Amino acid sequence: MITYKWLPRPAPYLDVWRAMHDYTESRDEQSPDVIWLVEHEPVYTLGQAGKPEHILNSGSIPVVHTNRGGQVTYHGPGQVIAYCLIDLHRAGLFVKEYVALLEDVTIELLTDMGVAGVCLKPGAPGVYVPMADRGGELAKIAALGIKVRHGRAYHGIALNVAMDLSPFLGINPCGYAGLRTVDMATCGVHVSMEQVGEQLAQRLAQGLSAKVAAKSL
């Protein structure tokens, strides 16, 4: 059974990152899989292979080099992050199918909550929506990045709910110059952080449990 919990909000990024790392390094075959829900203090995070030139103007927002995959992104108030601490080896999941599950669950949640046209963008991990004011140009609403250590995954997916989007102008989001970012509120969907976070965690837990059950047949 996969459980979830909210961490105190807003949380400093480094504190949560260290806690994820420590849990992953110390866990054994019996350690439970968990999902941590959090809202961070403003921070830019640069992935393991991230290029500093994608940070255009960080201003007063701190930049943290982290060990997840991907380039640079922004975390801040109004964004729900689901950090999934999952033993992929025990679950029998390959990394690609795990990433696909994170994306698919997020798409299903957004669709059910009324965000129209939610989709993937080939070759660009994460979740997107077409913007009518830009002729259907895709804007990113959820960013994804994971780290796998000894078959155990951490980090996860960040979903923009109702946030100040201007800090994204200080970077090339996920390494793409000119990529627009959007949140659920901009798409006309106004829901609480708690509702979105708990729905996301519940659906992720159910989806992962279903995958594990199917693998065991």
Q: Is 204 helix (H, G, I), strand (E, B) or coil?
A: helix
Residue with tokens 């994460």: 126
CATH number, domain 3-215, options 3.30.930.10, 3.40.50.1860, 3.10.580.10, 3.30.1180.20: 3.30.930.10
| Contacts for 122 with CB less than 8 Å, ≥ 6 apart | none
Q: Which range has highest mean pLDDT (1-5, 21-25, 121-125, 206-210)?
A: 21-25
In this prediction, residues 59-84 reach a mean pLDDT of: 96
Q: What is the pLDDT of residue 217?
A: 65
- Pick from 171, 175, 142: which is nearest to 158 by CA? 142
- C-alpha distance from residue 99 to each of 8, 67, 105, 145, 156 (Å): 26, 16, 10, 9, 9
What is the C-alpha separation between 42 and 76, in angstroms, rounded? 4
Q: How long a stretch of residues is the chain?
A: 217
Query: Is the predicted pLDDT of residue 37 greater than 90, yes or no?
Result: yes
In this prediction, residues 138-146 reach a mean pLDDT of: 97
For residue 140, what are its two tokens? Answer: 């990113």
User: Which is the catalytic residue, given 84, 119, 174, 187?
Assistant: 174
Q: Domains of the chain: which residue ranges?
A: 3-215
The answer to whether residue 174 is catalytic is yes
